[in-house]
């Protein structure tokens, strides 16, 4: 059996490197260990073993041996989402939550939101001032927040929903900071010292967010109306025993959808704009394809465009939604691609490294949408939303927003980069974002 090694630097230093420079952390590990390594820089309360070959990804995702289980673990996810979120549930409770949510976030149900999403995208962009640099990530975040709040609650402009949006911005920004956000990654700093401490501020914001959502649920229970938003569907849904979700369970799912439907989608939208407007040839190809549509404003027609799809896939390859999949727990000693893995170990798939392997994606640091036109990659080579029963439950709606936002901005707005300086990925919570990217809207 092969033995898996880890970087030799102290754990505290690796954790600091992962927080401040995650791309450098992954690249250093891959250069030292081509297949897997012990990630001391990522704290889930147990040792984390990261694999990053397609063969290992397939073995972990398929789990044919049955030795890998989903598990609840102490992490930043639990701090944000609580104990009833599909992110933090385990076993059959997690499977039940996914079974309940998947129909609401896939297929025809999501496709019916196409025109709504396009309208919200245009509203946000029309509000951007002309001829002044704007922060692209902030605009993209505004788009994704408005879309998810509208889908969840059926409205966006009411005072309560604006308060929810304001708290979302504060909470996301707090933990995005490399200084204030450190307690998210170091448990010994998770102390409530009041509003003067980052963790104290987070707990206060979380309490306010929970109160707003509980108030919304209570109002709807007191005055039931026929609605088609996601919260209404969740409140009407029942499990196989006919049991409806409790208020706590509703809170967990709403928080999960609010935050996961915001931060990662916004980053993907921002990266796609950056890459398209950095390369005139790519933008020209997109415009040619969009102009050939018989019904250019039809969202379903946009979704089927091959070059638009290739551009979005290449964006998700270079900047995957998650840098690694949600870990699995090993029940009893098993073998993965020739490596012995002991019981009690947490294992995961390093998505970022797989997406940047030279043997799968030649010249991986080059943005090349044509690679997705010339080759069909397997689900274990291209996995921007993870895979298996822990895959991103909102992947389809995230891709839908990404395509519609990119097609809308290219075909209906005049944008340009504020400057030609390269923008490098920086950690923002658990994702990679173009934090300093600025663009200008022309007349």
Tell me how far CA of residue 209 lies from CA of 212, 213, 225, 309, in angstroms.
5, 6, 23, 36
Tokens of 110: 């999501």
- List the single range of 49-63, 69-83, 108-122, 332-346 with lowest mean pLDDT: 69-83
**What's the burial of 71, exposed, middle or buried (CB within 10 Å: 0-12/13-18/19+)?**
buried
Q: Which carries the bigger pLDDT value, residue 281 or residue 84?
A: 281
Q: Tell me the C-alpha distance between 184 and 164, whole Å.
A: 21
Beta bridge partners of 23: none
Q: Tell me the C-alpha distance between 116 and 230, whole Å.
A: 14
Task: Judge whether residue 376 has pLDDT over 50.
Answer: yes
Domains and CATH numbers, the chain: 11-431 (1.10.630.10)
Q: What is the pLDDT of residue 224?
A: 81
Q: What is the pLDDT of residue 429?
A: 74
**Span 386-416, pLDDT tens digits:** 887 777 777 888 899 999 999 999 999 999 9
Report residue 176: phi and psi, to 5°: -75, -20
Q: What is the pLDDT of residue 310?
A: 98
**What's the burial of 160, exposed, middle or buried (CB within 10 Å: 0-12/13-18/19+)?**
middle
Q: What is the pLDDT of residue 214?
A: 95
Task: Judge whether residue 106 has pLDDT over 70.
Answer: no
**Span 271-323, pLDDT tens digits:** 999 999 999 999 999 999 999 987 767 888 888 899 999 999 999 999 998 89
**Span 151-166, pLDDT tens digits:** 889 888 889 999 999 9
Dihedral sign for Cα atoms in the order 52, 56, 61, 65? negative
Q: Tell me the C-alpha distance between 270 and 273, whole Å.
A: 5
Residue with tokens 């992954």: 26
Task: Judge whether residue 383 has pLDDT over 70.
Answer: yes
What confidence category does residue 74 fall into, taking pLDDT thresholds of 50, 70 and 90? low
Give, rounded to a whole angstrom, the gap between the first and last alpha carbons of the chain: 64
- If you average pLDDT over every residue of the chain, what do you get? 85
Q: Tell me the C-alpha distance between 111 and 114, whole Å.
A: 5
Beta bridge partners of 195: none
Q: What is the pLDDT of residue 369?
A: 98
Tell me how far CA of residue 115 lies from CA of 6, 8, 24, 101, 109, in angstroms.
49, 52, 40, 22, 13
Q: Which carries the bigger pLDDT value, residue 54 or residue 5?
A: 54
Report residue 356: phi and psi, to 5°: -120, 20
**What's the burial of 25, exposed, middle or buried (CB within 10 Å: 0-12/13-18/19+)?**
buried
Task: Judge whether residue 347 has pLDDT over 70.
Answer: yes
Tokens of 123: 């509203």
**Span 114-146, pLDDT tens digits:** 888 899 999 999 999 999 999 999 999 999 999
What confidence category does residue 441 fall into, taking pLDDT thresholds of 50, 70 and 90? very high
Q: Which carries the bigger pLDDT value, residue 102 or residue 394?
A: 394
**Span 179-237, pLDDT tens digits:** 444 445 555 555 555 556 777 888 888 899 999 999 999 999 988 877 878 898 888 88
């Amino acid at each position: 059996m092969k033995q898996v090694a880890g970087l030799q630097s102290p754990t505290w230093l690796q954790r600091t490197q992962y927080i401040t420079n995650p791309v450098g952390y992954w690249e250093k590990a891959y250069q030292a260990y081509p297949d897997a390594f012990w990630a001391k820089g990522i704290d889930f309360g147990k040792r984390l073993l990261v694999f990053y070959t397609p063969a290992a990804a397939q073995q972990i995702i398929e789990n044919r041996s049955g030795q890998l289980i989903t598990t609840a673990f102490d992490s930043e996810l639990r701090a944000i989402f609580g104990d009833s979120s599909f992110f933090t549930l385990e076993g059959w409770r997690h499977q039940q939550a996914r079974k309940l949510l998947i129909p609401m976030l896939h297929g025809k149900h999501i496709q019916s939101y196409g025109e709504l999403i396009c309208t919200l995208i245009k509203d946000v962009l029309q509000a951007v001032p002309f001829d002044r640099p704007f922060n692209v990530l902030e605009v993209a975040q505004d788009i994704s927040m408005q879309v998810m709040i509208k889908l969840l609650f059926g409205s966006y402009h009411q005072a309560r929903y604006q308060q929810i949006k304001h708290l979302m911005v504060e909470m996301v920004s707090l933990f995005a900071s490399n200084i204030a956000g450190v307690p998210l990654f170091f448990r010994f700093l998770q102390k409530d010292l009041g509003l003067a401490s980052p963790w104290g501020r987070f707990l206060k914001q979380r309490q306010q967010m929970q109160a707003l959502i509980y108030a919304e649920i209570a109002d709807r229970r007191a005055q039931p109306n026929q609605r088609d938003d996601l919260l209404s569907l969740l409140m009407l849904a029942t499990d196989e025993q006919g049991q409806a979700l409790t208020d706590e369970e509703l809170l967990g799912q709403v928080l999960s959808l609010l935050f996961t439907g915001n931060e990662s989608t916004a980053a993907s939208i921002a990266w796609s704009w950056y890459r398209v407007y950095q390369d005139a040839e790519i933008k020209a190809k997109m415009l040619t394809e969009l102009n050939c549509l018989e019904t250019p404003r039809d969202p379903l027609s946009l979704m089927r465009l091959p070059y638009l799809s290739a551009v979005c896939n290449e964006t998700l390859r270079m900047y995957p939604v998650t840098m690694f999949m949600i870990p699995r727990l090993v029940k009893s000693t098993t073998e993965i691609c020739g490596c012995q893995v002991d019981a009690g170990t947490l294992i995961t798939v390093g998505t970022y490294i797989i997406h940047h392997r030279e043997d799968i994606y030649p010249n991986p640091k080059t943005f090349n949408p044509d690679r997705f036109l010339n080759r069909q990659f397997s689900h274990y080579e291209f996995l921007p939303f993870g895979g298996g029963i822990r895959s991103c439950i909102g992947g389809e709606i995230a891709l839908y927003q990404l395509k519609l936002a990119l097609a809308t901005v290219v075909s209906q707005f005049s944008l340009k980069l504020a400057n030609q300086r390269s923008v490098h990925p920086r950690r923002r919570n658990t994702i990679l974002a173009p934090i300093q990217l600025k663009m200008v809207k022309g007349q």
